[in-house]
Structure 1
Amino acid sequence: MPEKREIVDLLLASRSPRRRELLDQVGLTYSVLDPDVDETPESGESPQALVERLARAKARAGRTAAGGLPVLAADTAVVADGVALGKPADAAHALAMLERLSGRSHEVVSGIAVDADGAIASRVVESIVTLRPTTAAERRAYWASGEPDGKAGGYAIQGLGAVFVERLEGSYSNVVGLPLFETLALLRDHGVDPLARYVSC
């Protein structure tokens, strides 16, 4: 018998392992493309406008490689006092961000976009995360774990960083990096539904 081939649902225009894990969680299959997009904020651009613009740009960048598949892209920012904190450049930067977030609430905003044959649909999703007060020793220990490196805002809610999270309002998966509810709603509009394969004909 010929080997059964797995159907690929979409092209993921992201190198984030967290986004791949979330798509795996809901059973979607995908190819991965690392889009080359300038992520420099525009003058006066809000974090919400930035993440949506970048998500749309990444989705467009994947269009030619998609082979007719929908292209999914996303961009996420941790925002405090209206400023996107980005990823820590070094230990001092990470510790300063963690101190800034200590004992207070901040926003996590994600832009998601789906490009299907040149028609792009996008959304912005916001969650509010409150971290408990942390000590300088705790922040240094967390940096020593290696987890904050490469993480927006200097922490990961899905990992050891959860020890600091007192409260979450909104989507957990958004804070991880891809709001699943909203993402799946956009994908269903383009015929991609992880439940469809289980529907009897």
Structure 2
Amino acid sequence: MNLSRPLLLASNSPRRKELLTGLGLTFEVKIKEVHEDFPAELKREQVAEFLASHKADQYLEDLEDQILLTADTIVCLGDQVLNKPADYEQAYDMLRSLSGTHHEVITGVCILTRESKTVFHDTTKVYFKELSHQEIDYYITNYKPYDKAGAYGIQEWIGKIGIERIEGSYFNVVGLPVQKLYHQLTELGLLKID
């Protein structure tokens, strides 16, 4: 597979790096500190897309003949957006609220070049079993999920023992809807299979 120009990934997420590598893409990581605030009136899908687009905008001035990829994953329980927990108590409360019910994981993605900006999202429904106090405590204590929206990583222990089923893309929950990304890059003429 060949990209028409160099790819920049504006994310330090090891999971996103792994997923892009798994697609057979080479890329360089470029990081800027970006505030993740969003207007309160935005609906859930709009929040994920807004954040991905907002991140991309911070790189526009520096962008040369490259493809910039940004993404933002949010966890939604009803209309409530669960961000990254600040401490043990927040992580515990989030996992307790996700226990025994379903929620949605929405990843917004932005593909930015000098000529165009494409923003899209993918949504996956995730069903958790009823989690015990011991399971939640064990996970937070051992995995410290403070860098993860909703206080969990599907690929970690809690996902293996707690998630009963999902509807939609597994990779979207990990942090990047690779099937949709592949489709968009192809549609935009930025990616070709030789």
Residue of structure 2 equivalent to 1:96? 93
**Within 1, Cα distance between the matches of 2:58 and 2:65?**
14
Residue of structure 1 equivalent to 2:84? 87
- Where do 4+ consecutive residues of structure 1 move more than 4 Å? none
Q: Are residues 1:32 and 2:29 paired? A: yes
One-letter identity of the residue aligned with 2:109: I
Q: Are residues 1:42 and 2:64 paired? A: no
**How far is the alpha carbon of 1:124 from its aligned partner?**
1.6
**How far is the alpha carbon of 1:16 from its aligned partner?**
1.5
Q: What secondary structure does 2:76 align onto? A: strand
**Within 1, Cα distance between the matches of 2:115 and 2:35?**
20
Q: Are residues 1:15 and 2:24 paired? A: no
Q: What secondary structure does 1:145 align onto? A: helix
Residue of structure 2 equivalent to 1:170? 168
Number of equivalenced pairs: 190
**Within 1, Cα distance between the matches of 2:144 and 2:88?**
11
Q: Are residues 1:109 and 2:87 paired? A: no
**Which stretch shifts more, 78-87 or 39-48?**
39-48
**Within 2, Cα distance between the matches of 1:28 and 1:103?**
38
* Deviation sequence 1:168-198 (CA, Å, 0-9, x none): 00011100010001111121234343x62xx
Q: Please list, as runs of the form range in 1=range in 2, the aligned pairs for 1:1-201 lying within 5 A after superposition.
A: 9-162=6-159, 163-193=161-191, 196=193, 199=194
The structure number with the bigger radius of gyration is 1
Q: Structure with the greater relative contact order (CA < 8 A, sep ≥ 6): 1 or 2?
A: 2
Percent of counterpart pairs with the same letter? 35
Normalising by structure 2, we get a TM-score of 0.91
One-letter identity of the residue aligned with 1:173: F
Query: 2:64·2:114 contact (CA, 8 Å) conserved in 1?
Result: no
One-letter identity of the residue aligned with 1:39: E
Q: CA RMSD in A?
A: 1.7
Normalising by structure 1, we get a TM-score of 0.88
* Deviation sequence 1:64-118 (CA, Å, 0-9, x none): 3332111111111000021110111111110110000001000001111111214
**Which stretch shifts more, 125-134 or 26-35?**
26-35
Gaps of 5+ in 1: 1-6
